Amino acid sequence: MVEEDGLCFSYTKTKIPLFIFFKNARMVFKMDELGVEISQIALPAALALTADPIASLVDTAFIGQIGPIELAAVGVSIALFNQVSRIAIFPLVSVTTSFVAEEDAVAEVSSEQQELGSLESNNCTNESKELLPQSDSGKSVKAETSSFSVESSKPQRRSIPSASSALVIGAILGLLQAIFLISLAKPLLNYMGVKPDSTMLPPAQKYLTLRSLGAPAVLLSLAMQGIFRGFKDTKTPLYATVAGDVTNIILDPILIFVFRLGVSGAAIAHVISQYLISIILFWRLIQLVNLLPPSMKDLKFGRFLKNGFLLLMRVIAVTFCVTLAASMAARLGPTPMAAFQVCLQVWLATSLLADGLAVAGQAILASAFAKNDFERATSTASRVLQLGFVLGLVLCFMLGFGLKFAARLFTKDVDVLNLITIGIPFVALTQPINALAFVFDGINFGASDFAYSAFSMVMVAVVSILCLLFLSSHYGFIGIWVALTIYMSLRAFAGFWRIGTGTGPWSFLRS
């Protein structure tokens, strides 16, 4: 009977990859070795990922005290800056995390093999020494052993070529982004629905121009976060991010109200915080990694560019959907845009909590696939998906009951508050879907399934954009949120389909 059960399980596991989603579901909260590793990576990563949106929420809350026009203007600028940043950031960070995790895993295996070989060699040497006179040779053996211990105890910086590549690419992309946003601020805002005669244009252009000065710091800091994630170290980015965002929160009221700089003060505070984060991360990184590779060939820019281009396609598709939604809201006027900005920031900030699980899944999976440890890959994918769904349910209840009261922290305008109330059901009920969509992204990246992630997202974007154009033109504010719900549902389904059918890197589930 046991053998039959075993055969039955083997058959089910082989023929129905879909069952991976339910594997060891009873152990979802168990703090075994895998559970501890996921929590140690996911919790700090989630806090670090949500820190920047929370800082933007703080900006939004302070600026909301100035007036609804300034709130709407900054909302458009933040949406534009974030979406343009994602075009550069997302491919860079995702590729960096996977490549660093793979290189670190390979280096770890190589180091273990070298240590094993060294121990075997020492054992052979000791055995041969026993056959010789012990007076002088014994001292030499002790001296050699002592010398070996001192050498091995010295901390050595890791040689990870992908880390150096990420920093070079991040610096270049950051400078290009700053030049692009500063020189084209007005036409970009016009595209977002802020017309030349709009009262939102002056504060929006001022905020966007100043905040763009921090683009190089944003790209560099997030590239370094990708490196630390590859090392499964998410605490260092958390400490740096918290230090920067606390600085931002302290400077906001001082620059906005004390020095009467208004929206310019909010932008300056944010830029200072980003450069502080970059300095902290770089100081820590140079202690761990040798950032000067032996030659330019070791940087492997071709590998970065190939996979980065695939993810660039994906990010452009994602960016276009969210940016178009913000543009549609801006065309409805300052009041709908202000309400949409609050709902969107809350929607993204809470959903990014699931990105912590995605980071954990990506780092562990990249290491597991590099070692061909498919059992660990399967267990990791199952656990992070189950935890993601539970997290989504918790966020759903929290936002459903709490956002109506929290909305007053962002604005006192009655009309804006009424529209926020309409958006609350969409923000709350989509949380489980959003959580799964983010976790699926991390799983695909951990498996280096970049091509599928790119092409499936393009298909999702095409359908979502059509829905957004139709629904927003016919149903206004509500139509925009219905379209965003469809968009996130399709993203989750694309990830579900890949693993559930056992295709691509998951074909081992059917073998």
DSSP assignment of 336-373 equals HHHHHHHHHHHHHHHHTHHHHHHHHHHHHHHHHHHTT-
**Greater model confidence, 423 or 227:** 227
Overall average pLDDT of the 104-129 stretch: 65
The secondary structure element, H or E, covering residue 259 is: none
- CB 87 within 8 Å of CB 317: no
Overall average pLDDT of the 457-481 stretch: 92
What pLDDT score was predicted for residue 155?
52
The Cα 427–Cα 74 span in angstroms is: 21
pLDDT (tens digit, 9 = 90+) per residue, 257-315? 999 999 999 999 999 999 999 999 999 999 999 887 656 777 777 888 888 888 888 88
- CB 324 within 8 Å of CB 468: yes
- CB 440 within 8 Å of CB 496: yes
User: What angle is formed at CA 59 by the lines to CA 203 and CA 396, rounded to 5 degrees?
Assistant: 125
pLDDT (tens digit, 9 = 90+) per residue, 371-385? 889 999 999 999 999
Nearest to 219 by CA among 93, 307, 363, 96: 93
Residue with tokens 């610096």: 171
pLDDT (tens digit, 9 = 90+) per residue, 14-47? 457 777 887 877 888 889 999 999 999 999 988 8
What pLDDT score was predicted for residue 251?
95
Lowest mean pLDDT among 77-91, 212-226, 472-486: 77-91
**What DSSP string runs through 436-489?**
HHHHHHHHHHHTT-HHHHHHHHHHHHHHHHHHHHHHHHHHHHHHHHHHHHHHHH
Tell me the C-alpha to C-alpha distance, in Å, between residue 464 and each of 9, 201, 454, 469, 490. Answer: 39, 28, 15, 9, 8
Report yes or no on whether pTM surpasses 0.95.
no
Furthest-apart CA atoms within the chain: distance in Å: 96
Instruction: Name 158's Cβ contacts closer than 8 Å, sequence gap at least 6.
Output: 104, 107, 288, 289, 290
Coil, strand or helix: which one is 289? Answer: strand
Overall average pLDDT of the 410-436 stretch: 87
Determine the residue type at 170.
G
Lowest mean pLDDT among 50-64, 208-222, 339-353: 50-64
Lowest mean pLDDT among 87-96, 130-139, 273-282, 285-294: 130-139
Residue with tokens 């498996």: 447
**Greater model confidence, 359 or 123:** 359
Among the ranges 2-16, 63-77, 269-283, which has the highest mean pLDDT value? 269-283
Residue with tokens 């440890």: 373
Chain-wide mean pLDDT for the chain?
A: 83
Determine the residue type at 221.
S
Overall average pLDDT of the 489-500 stretch: 92
Nearest to 473 by CA among 316, 342, 324, 320: 324
**Greater model confidence, 9 or 460:** 460
Nearest to 345 by CA among 57, 69, 71, 81: 57
Residue with tokens 């965002």: 245
Per-residue confidence band for 82, with pLDDT thresholds at 50, 70 and 90: confident
Whether residue 174 has pLDDT greater than 60: yes
Judging by beta carbons within 10 Å of its beta carbon (0-12, 13-18, 19+), is residue 507 exposed, middle or buried?
exposed
- CB 267 within 8 Å of CB 210: yes
| φ, ψ (nearest 5 deg) of residue 389 | -65, -40
The Cα 384–Cα 358 span in angstroms is: 7
Tell me the C-alpha to C-alpha distance, in Å, between residue 217 and each of 87, 167, 406. Answer: 15, 11, 31
Overall average pLDDT of the 379-406 stretch: 89
